[in-house]
Structure 1
Amino acid sequence: MRHFWTCIFLLVLISCDSDPSNRNPFLQEVNFRFEINLNLPLYNDLNTIGNPVYIGNAGVGTRGAFVIKSSLDTFFAFEASCPNHTPNNCSTMEIEGQNVVCSCEDFTYSLFTGQQLNRPDDGNRYYDLLFYRATQSGNTVTISN
């Protein structure tokens, strides 16, 4: 019986391999933590479902983050730099409704799913938005990586 559990443990250990090929080579994943007070007028739009807000504070992601309320108690947060090229002077995306657009190539991404909406069919690999954790506690939403 002891060998059985040893084999099971080894099998689980071997199967827990992370896939480095899934990592986005263009964006560096920086550690940060930022609290959003929903009572402040600056973040008032986040009290309504579907209204995104850009957080451009220093130390928040690479180029800031987009935050959107997706349901009564769920928030999503994504990196504001386009995920399909290295950060440069045109890579900080802009909000267009409930999507964001990169002005470099006009790539459009959904803030509800993070997926690229106009992915070219040219055989190249394209990345979706870099996701950040967003948790709510009372009137505070904390985004972090």
Structure 2
Amino acid sequence: MKPYWILVVLLALWSCDDDTTNRNPFLQEIGFRFDINLNLPLYSPLTNTGTAIFIDNTAVGTRGVFVVNTGFDQYRAFEASCPNHEPNSCSTMTLSGQVATCSCEEYQYSLFTGQMLNRPDDGRRYYDMLEYRAAASGNTIIISN
């Protein structure tokens, strides 16, 4: 009976999938925490559903963070550096409504989903925006990684 158990264990080990996460090679995932006080005039636009802001702070992400109010006290936060190339002089994206645009290639990303809106059909791998944790607590939004 023991040889069967050994065979079962060996088959189970061989059948395990080495499914590694597909990390973005262009952006580092650095650790940080940043508190957004919605009572401050700079961040008060986030009290309105659908409004997005850019936080240009060296202590937040690689090139800053976009934060959007998605409704029902839910927020999403994304890295402001374009996810499809290494950070450089043109990689900090610009904000227009709920769309972030990379000035290097004019790639556009939705701040509601983080997905690339104008993905080229050239067979290459393209990455969506790097998302950070965003948690609301009273009049404060905590952005962290």
TM-score range, shorter chain: 0.7 to 0.9
Aligned twin of 1:113: 113
Counterpart of 2:94 in structure 1 is 94
* SS of 1:143 mapped into structure 2: strand
Partner residue of 1:24?
A: 24
Structure 1 residues 86, 71: closer, same or farther in 2, change over 3 A? same
Residue 36 of structure 2 aligns with which residue?
36
Residues in 1 aligned to 2:16 and 2:65: alpha-carbon distance in whole angstroms: 33
Q: Counterpart of 2:133?
A: 133
Measure the CA separation in 2 of the matches of 1:25 and 1:15.
Answer: 25
Report the residue type matching 2:111 in the other structure: L
Question: CA–CA distance in 2 between the matches of 1:105 and 1:16?
Answer: 36
Cα RMSD after superposing both structures:
2.0
Percent of pairs identical after alignment? 61
Offset of residue 15 of structure 1? 5.5
Between the aligned partners of 1:135 and 1:16, the Cα distance in structure 2 is 33
**What residue ranges of structure 2 are gaps of 5+ in the alignment?**
none
Q: How far apart in 2 are the matches of 1:46 and 1:139? A: 10
* Partners of 2:18 and 2:40 in 1: CA distance: 43
In the alignment, the residues of structure 2 paired with residue 130 and residue 144 of structure 1 have an alpha-carbon distance, to the nearest angstrom, of: 12
Seen in structure 2, the aligned counterparts of structure 1 residues 19 and 47 have a Cα distance that, compared at 3 Å, is: same
Count of equivalent residues: 136
Correspondence for 1:122: 122
CA–CA distance in 2 between the matches of 1:45 and 1:94? 17
**1:81 paired residue number:** 81
Show structure 1 runs of 5+ residues with no match.
none
Alpha-carbon offset, residue 16 of structure 1: 8.5
1:30 partner SS = coil
**Separation (CA, whole Å) in 1 of partners of 2:31 and 2:133:** 11
Kindly state the Cα deviation for residue 17 of structure 1 after the two structures are TM-superposed.
Answer: 5.5
Q: Distance in 1 between matches of 2:32 and 2:132?
A: 10
More helix by share: 1
**What TM-score comes out, normalization by structure 1 length?**
0.87
How far has the Cα of 1:58 moved from its partner? 1.5
Deviation of residue 44 (structure 1)? 1.0
State the one-letter code of the partner of 2:53. V
Q: TM-score, normalised by structure 2?
A: 0.87
